[in-house]
Structure 1
Amino acid sequence: RRGLKAGGFVKMTEIQRGAIPRALAGRDILGEARTGSGKTLAFLVPLVESLFRERWSRMDGLGALAVSPTRELAYQIFQVLAAVGAQHEFSAGCIVGGRALEEEQKAVASMNILVATPGRLLQHLDESPGFYASGLRMLVLDEADRILDFGFQETVHHILGHLPSERQTQLFSATLRTGVQRLGKAALRSPEVVSVHSGAESRTPDRLKQVYMVVPLEQKVDTLFSFLRSHSQKKIIVFVSACKQVRFFYEAFRKLKPGPAVMELHGRQSLTKRLLTFQEFTEREHAVALFCTDIAARGVDFPAVDWVVQMDCPDTADSYIHRVGRTARYQSGGNSILLLLPSERAFVTKLAAARVTVRSISAKQSKVTTIQGKLSGLLAGDGAVKHLAQKAFVSYMRSVRLMKDKDVFDADALPGEAFSQSLGLAGVPELGNLGAEADLEKNPLKKQKNQTALQRLKDKIKQKREAKKGA
């Protein structure tokens, strides 16, 4: 109680009122609540309290596990755990990919509570001597729908195979779609379903003001720059489709200085760099714009974000909801703006079908400043930024080509030459074979080269398991 009060957690949210008493009574929980509703405390309070009631000590080993789909969310859960559990003497750790496994192996066996990403947790369960989960009392699967989106279903099932059947489990998700329910059947026993927003008129927070603007592709960069200039004192998150776009806009805009300080967050950064950026953006109160990919779109809580700008159309309505969920969290207000191409207007209908209403607005042309000349001059004098511009162009064109929803995304409608000029490029970069990704299965070496480190790790674990079965 003292830890909660010291952390400023005084009044419970709806999901907390529904889940905490049931979890404290020992029931498994299947929780559904939209983003920003306070799910983290809904499972951490029972987790800490249950171990406290059992007088769990450092000698008792691992008592609780919280599994998160991303490193950033795992880190944030751990921060909240450290705050609310400050009055207790449990040993706790956060294990995620990106660090040397050997460093974690030295400490992991002595932890009472672990927050982990699925791939790294399974790797420790398979490979770390002295690390056992046979006495586990509570398992938490947070952002279960995103765990499935990231392809961790098989990994989670392998993790469940390492855990005792006599345990309490809490599973939380923004939606209880079919895949989440299947995972719930595998992980939970006669759960209490706590759903607090399933019947709501909107799947986004009431205090969130949502607008969209139809902008031709060749005008997007000017529109974004002008938006940042006119909102220079605000705290802003800008979502784009690919890491290469983040790199280009970060390097170009920090030189062209639209007004707010600019930062970057994407999956190609080292774990240390990502966490430092995450922490710095969290601590800034205003006059900052964070360029990022969807890596930051789920679960993490950036305080007091004024605007979410979606420069590129998300792949689905669910992704849109996750992105705008970075603002208007808990009892705060917030704003979001979505930039759609003329060929992407159908996405508004997709949002309406998902119970999301967005209002159309138009840009005031008098406030839109063109920076094409400045970008051209920058690229002419800086070969590194020019290279990033070329990569950003190709990455964006490829991302649209690979989108599954062809009702919304039409790669053939993209004006390549005008778009490249808007980035400051004198010519259109060579696109190569944009359909090559579809043929990766036929080329194992190329497939491995294009995989993330996480996917390579998952394949390695799978191969080891198959080898053991064969033996």
Structure 2
Amino acid sequence: MRRPQRRAVAKQSRAKDGDEIRLLEAWIDAGKPLPGTKPPPPSEESSAANARVRARDVVAKAAAGDYSDYGASTRFDELPLSQKTKDALRKAGYKEMSEIQRAALPHALCGHDVLGAAKTGSGKTLAFVIPVIEKLYREKWSQEDGVGCIILSPTNDLAGQIWEVVRKVGKHHNFSGGAIVKRTGIEQEKERINSLNILVCTPGRLVQHFDETPNFDCSNLQILVLDEADQILDKNFKSQVDIILSQIPKARQTLLFSATQTKSVKDLARVSLKNPEYISVHEQASTATPDNLEQCAMIVPLEQKLNMLWSFIKRHLKSKILVFLSSVKQVKFVYEIFKKLRPGIPLKCMHGRMKYEVQQAIVAEFSESTSVLFSTDIFARGLDIGNVDWVVQVDCPESVALYIHRVGRTARYNKKGKSLIFLCPQEERMLEKLKATESKIPINVRNQKWNNWSRYLRM
């Protein structure tokens, strides 16, 4: 194609985008949900064909100035989204919205701050990635505009996974971005970070750039996202988060999402939320964990925990099993010992002292095969691995929230899963917390003597 032709095509494309942006802004403003509103229960539709017809009808009416109430939408193609985003979602297989997406997207798309809480595996990532892409598109963001969005994640692995979703949803847009994690050197990042529109990173890595990268500028930031917000606002990240908040504008949209969300007025004041929409789609649910998750606890003497773990693995050689241990030393020790004993199933281990590239390779291998993965809590939050059959907790979690995040690695997206936790007699206080009514954790306790449990481990 000759240069004049390319210029003509580019000009035509910009004009088309401008028309679509004006339509989207009018549609969003006309159908803006009132504060505190939640979507009505989805109506029954007889077929996918009817849904497609309905979606085309919604878009046609909007083009004619008859804007629909998108707060009642059940499908992505019924929302006021750019055609580029809709095409990417359809190609990726995203059609029907989950509960958290139905509840959060109408508020997030019209610029409201959102404090979202939903069970693990419920689709929270799309609930903030779509508003990010759409906001920058409607603002006509380009590389020259610099950083328009920062998405903070507590771990490098989760940041990498979020970036893959951003790439998938934004593939037809022209935004630049990346996961700023330890897999690349800081010097290479410094050269390009000011030209990136979307940054997905850990708080520590972002602070490093504020300290070391000349002229690193986030003064035009449009939207800040905190994934696993309860952990990022925890004391372990406090100093880093305070530095970040001091370097970015307060006039921005802020989205906070987690499975166990904070309502602390002090925490919310720190991130300068403006009249946030608190969306907890499972707040009235009978359980805090996935509905299809079968949970069991066993009281095991400390010196017998590894024997019980070995027996369990030997009886589940055709399952994908994720085993949580509390420290890097324990992960290394159990992995090396069990590997020498050769249980008859592939074994893997993962912890925070591994290089990022190694961690990514292990996650990919575990995703694709039947195996046992021994891990620290680096794997406990957010990571989306399909078809995990069992989550086994050998060491007691520090809190009920951490227990919920651990078991959330299975029974994702309405699939079935099972979990088992070994607690020694000194840890029965945690069992009391898990069984407490307010915890909403339907856990079954096996009180047999430990030397009779091999029969139970065949479950």
TM range (shorter): 0.7 to 0.9
Can you list the C-alpha shifts for 1:322-368, whole angstroms capped at 9, x where unaligned?
11011111221110001111232232211122221211235755559
Letter of the 1:332 counterpart: K
Where structure 1 has 5 or more consecutive residues not aligned to the other structure, the ranges are 370-471
SS at 2:405 equivalent: helix
Quote the offset at 1:51 in angstroms: 0.9
Quote the offset at 1:6 in angstroms: 2.0
Can you list the C-alpha shifts for 1:148-177, whole angstroms capped at 9, x where unaligned?
346112211211111122211111122333
The whole-number CA distance in structure 1 between the counterparts of 2:190 and 2:292 is 45
Structure 2 residue 112 is the aligned partner of structure 1 residue 27? yes
Structure 2 residue 113 is the aligned partner of structure 1 residue 42? no
**Which aligned pairs between 1:35-434 and structure 2 lie closer than 5 A?**
35-97=120-182, 99-149=184-234, 151-179=236-264, 181-187=265-271, 188-284=273-369, 287-353=370-436, 354-361=439-446, 362=448, 365=453
- 2:154, 2:228 within 8 Å by CA — same for their partners in 1? yes
- 1:313, 1:340 within 8 Å by CA — same for their partners in 2? yes
Query: Identity percentage over the alignment?
Result: 48
- 2:349, 2:375 within 8 Å by CA — same for their partners in 1? yes
- Rate the CA distance shift 1:368–1:246 in 2: closer, same or farther, 3 A: farther
SS at 1:74 equivalent: helix
Can you list the C-alpha shifts for 1:31-68, whole angstroms capped at 9, x where unaligned?
12222211111000110011112221222211111011
Can you list the C-alpha shifts for 1:372-408, whole angstroms capped at 9, x where unaligned?
xxxxxxxxxxxxxxxxxxxxxxxxxxxxxxxxxxxxx
- Rate the CA distance shift 1:365–1:178 in 2: closer, same or farther, 3 A: closer
Can you list the C-alpha shifts for 1:72-91, whole angstroms capped at 9, x where unaligned?
11111011111111111111
The whole-number CA distance in structure 2 between the counterparts of 1:15 and 1:365 is 40
- 2:325, 2:374 within 8 Å by CA — same for their partners in 1? yes
- 2:320, 2:389 within 8 Å by CA — same for their partners in 1? yes
Where structure 2 has 5 or more consecutive residues not aligned to the other structure, the ranges are 1-85
Quote the offset at 1:178 in angstroms: 4.8
Letter of the 2:367 counterpart: T
RMSD: 1.8
The whole-number CA distance in structure 2 between the counterparts of 1:27 and 1:247 is 46
> Structure 1 length normalisation: TM-score?
0.74
The whole-number CA distance in structure 2 between the counterparts of 1:289 and 1:366 is 19
2:37 alignment counterpart: none
- 2:146, 2:194 within 8 Å by CA — same for their partners in 1? yes
Aligned residues: 366
- 1:226, 1:367 within 8 Å by CA — same for their partners in 2? no
Letter of the 1:101 counterpart: I
The whole-number CA distance in structure 2 between the counterparts of 1:22 and 1:68 is 22
Letter of the 1:351 counterpart: L
SS at 1:335 equivalent: strand
The whole-number CA distance in structure 2 between the counterparts of 1:130 and 1:235 is 47
- Rate the CA distance shift 1:141–1:6 in 2: closer, same or farther, 3 A: same
- 2:400, 2:434 within 8 Å by CA — same for their partners in 1? yes
SS at 2:122 equivalent: coil
- 1:226, 1:368 within 8 Å by CA — same for their partners in 2? no
The whole-number CA distance in structure 1 between the counterparts of 2:270 and 2:299 is 44
Name the stretch that deviates more: 156-165 or 233-242. 156-165
- 2:117, 2:258 within 8 Å by CA — same for their partners in 1? yes
- 2:233, 2:241 within 8 Å by CA — same for their partners in 1? no
The whole-number CA distance in structure 1 between the counterparts of 2:401 and 2:173 is 38
